[in-house]
Amino acid sequence: MSSATSADHHQVLIAGGGTAGLTLAARLRRAGVTDIAVLEPSGRHFYQPLWTLVGGGRAAQRDTVRPQAQVMPKGVTWIRDAAAGADPGAQTVTTESGRVLHYGYLVLASGIQLDFGRLPGLAETLGQRGVSSNYRYDLAPRTWEFIRDLRSGTALFTMPPGPVKCAGAPQKIAYLAADWWRSQGVLDRIRVILVLPTAVMFSQPDWARVLTGIAAGYGIEVRTESEVPEVDGDGKRAVIADHKAGTKEDIPYDVMHVTPPQSAPDWIKASPLADPASPFGYAQADKHTLRHPAWPNVFALGDAANLPTSKTGAAVRKQAPVVAANLIAAMRGGQAASYDGYTSCPLVTARNRMLLAEFNYGLERTPSLPIIDTLKPRRDMYLLKRYGLPALYWHGMLKGRA
């Protein structure tokens, strides 16, 4: 085999230019690492946490996107291509265009794959006949249109089994919608159903209790241990399978917000880097060091990593400095850093109120601001979600400063 050209070899190759990839790249550049490449096909960069507010009529779609070239850290090589396969033994990543990239260290930051096609009948009706999803940039405005125009009928909000990014998002849009309908005086004419695969409203018990009360306050029917396995878009009907009771119910709907099944990108699933313990193909990583146990020059963070914590941008904010420190320690020697599983879920409960759930691997509360009662829906927390966190993201995280 011929040796790789310098253009095809990088000391650090980051697969993925989303939140995790760019946050890490910026931190490594600030630490003095000079040969970094980010493999990312998209020309646009999205701040996805605002998509829930777009779907709820509280934010503009244009506020969630910037050109990728504008946010790429200075001094980082942007390879505008997509990963198609990885050979950790050869220390290579193959791209969709057929290019073979060699690396000294590989970081898996490829995010999550939205598997709309795994739900029969869904793909054909997305964006039409009342069906939408805030998990796609182009569909979030349609969610708001459907919610805004509904005056009576049935509204269905779904969450699939398995890990999803921002596990609170499927129910946040239900609260935003219910609050809007209440403000319009039509909530009592709308049947709101929230379908959850879990036995409880939320993984952390303190916030689970609060959210149970909030859902009840809106009159939302919460179907736990349930899922929607198929959709009839033409007939505007969906099947709700109750796994606890072992029953199926055919429900007519007028509006449905769907959270799609999600998994690791196919190329990670098919690679030796996938965790054999993950049925969804996420990358294997030590939950504290974020290093691959079989391939010590490979790290993973963000949604692509199989970690026992929620997949959120706030988790990335804590994971990135750990990966940066451990990667640099692998290069130069030094003390390794440890990640405690911190994650945060800003739970919007109304059009101007929010809870901030922060916890670690042990589901222990880890508040950033202990003097504030974040178990109570607060307006200042909503303002943090709408304005503070986006500013922190664009000007802090992506610059390697926060």
* Catalytic sites, residue numbers: 166, 345
CA distances for 197 relative to 223, 227, 299, 301, angstroms = 8, 6, 30, 25
What are residue 30's phi and psi, to 5 degrees? -65, -25
Spatial CB neighbours of 217, under 8 Å, sequence gap ≥ 6:
none
The 10 Å Cβ neighbour count of residue 276 is 9
Q: Return left, alpha or beta for 334; rule: phi > 0 is left, psi -120 to 50 is alpha, else beta.
A: left
Of 45, 97, 37, the closest CA to residue 69 belongs to 45
C-alpha to C-alpha distance for 133 and 376, rounded to whole angstroms: 27
Question: Where would I find the H helices in 72-204?
Answer: 140-149, 169-183
Residue 298 forms beta bridges with which residues?
A: 106
C-alpha to C-alpha distance for 232 and 32, rounded to whole angstroms: 54
- 190 secondary structure, DSSP code: E
SS3 content of the chain, % helix, strand, coil (to 5): 30, 25, 45
Give how far the C-alpha of residue 288 lies from the chain's centroid of Cα atoms, to the nearest Å: 20
Residue 190 forms beta bridges with which residues?
A: 153
C-alpha to C-alpha distance for 402 and 399, rounded to whole angstroms: 8
CB 168 within 8 A of CB 184: no
C-alpha to C-alpha distance for 177 and 122, rounded to whole angstroms: 21
Spatial CB neighbours of 162, under 8 Å, sequence gap ≥ 6:
197, 261, 262, 263, 279, 280
